[in-house]
Amino acid sequence: MNVPEPPPPRGQELGRGLGRGLGRSLGSGLLTWGPHGGAHRVALRAGVSVLVPLLVLVLVGRLEWTAYAAFGAFTSLYGRNQPRAERAGMQLVAALFLVASVTLGVLVGLTPEARWLVVLVGAVLAAAGSLASDAYRWHPPGPLFLVFGFAVCAAAPATAATVPVAAAIAAASAGFSILVAQLGALRAPSSWDRPVLPAPRFRDALAPAGARTHLVRHVLALVVSGGTATALGWAHPYWAMVASVVVLSGPDLRSRVTRGFHRVVGTLLGLGVAAAVLALHPSGVTAVLVIVLLQVLTELVVGRNYAAALLFITPLALLMGQLVHPTAVGPLLRDRLLETVVGAVVAVGVLLVVPDRLGGPRRPRRPRHGRT
């Protein structure tokens, strides 16, 4: 007589289900392509927004200012498919945060022992940026560009006189990006509306279970990943921090772990493209044109397959650095891979170790009338 085995414990059953689902998403996600979703319009806006400020700075011989312009130009990436008025409002808010991050980075870079301070401030900025992203409902979500802009600008040589210059260039570049995003109104001027500023909903952003804990995860992951890269003396600790932010920006555990896997695999493949691009030693105007091409290709792909987009994101990031401070290509490629792996692994480890609920369950919030 066959006696049926008792069912596995509920937690074990859920763990197996998560493991099976995660395994499928890790592999299939590499080959899955999402819808086009008007990506060509976003790519065109991003390309123009990056091209003009970088080209102006290269032509006037101010390569050291190109990072400030580039991070201001990232304003164009927000509100990808929003109606024009809502997109302008989202971009205005994002521009303020981007300019503030660039300016803060330059200020922190002027302090003694700036490398360690960058890790600590960057970790807090990641948590604050994540909260702001949820409160303002940014798209793309997360604090990636804030942390990236802050850390890169903190690592660049600067003086006290650079602070207002960096702020002005980032603001001008961001303003140009917003104007580019409104050019469609020229076809029908009567369709133009004033920007609709998003109302921040910080209480709503903190309401879901685990929302506060996830802010703690940002701090822990960036302190550990950035601190590890800094302690090992790696040249670009912010690459590890950025990789951690990428992993944590997903909406749930499965998507976050999947993004970490895609980040590592995509970076590994992207380093091959980067090696080919950097072997040509593009500089000046040529480098700017290649950067713009890579930016356009990134925006055409990133919403459809993140791992594939890293084929272009990786050489884009490395060429931006080479434009200002050329270094040996071999160590640069090695550092990019090592720091990406460290950042992704640390973030996944923090996700698995730190539960959504710390200190017991939270009391349910009372409903607020008139708010969706």
pLDDT in tens, 253-271: 888 999 999 999 999 999 9
Q: Is 6 inside any structural domain?
A: no
Q: Report the distance separating Cα 69 and Cα 67, nearest Å.
A: 5
Q: Is 286 inside any structural domain?
A: yes
pLDDT less than 50: residues of the chain: 1-5, 10-15, 17, 359-372
Q: What was the pLDDT predicted at 36? A: 72
Q: Is 294 inside any structural domain?
A: yes
Q: What was the pLDDT predicted at 33? A: 76
Q: What was the pLDDT predicted at 63? A: 94
**51: which 2 tokens?**
């091209």
Q: Is 15 inside any structural domain?
A: no
Q: What was the pLDDT predicted at 23? A: 59
Other C-beta atoms closer than 10 Å to the C-beta of 119 total: 25
Domain count, the chain: 1
Place of tokens 């702001």: 132
Q: Is 321 inside any structural domain?
A: yes
Q: What was the pLDDT predicted at 31? A: 67
Q: Is 265 inside any structural domain?
A: yes
Q: What was the pLDDT predicted at 194? A: 81
Q: What was the pLDDT predicted at 26? A: 62
Structural domain of residue 282, as residue ranges? Answer: 38-184+194-353
Q: Is 298 inside any structural domain?
A: yes
Q: Is 245 inside any structural domain?
A: yes
Q: Is 254 exposed, middle or buried (0-12, 13-18, 19+ CB in 10 A)?
A: middle
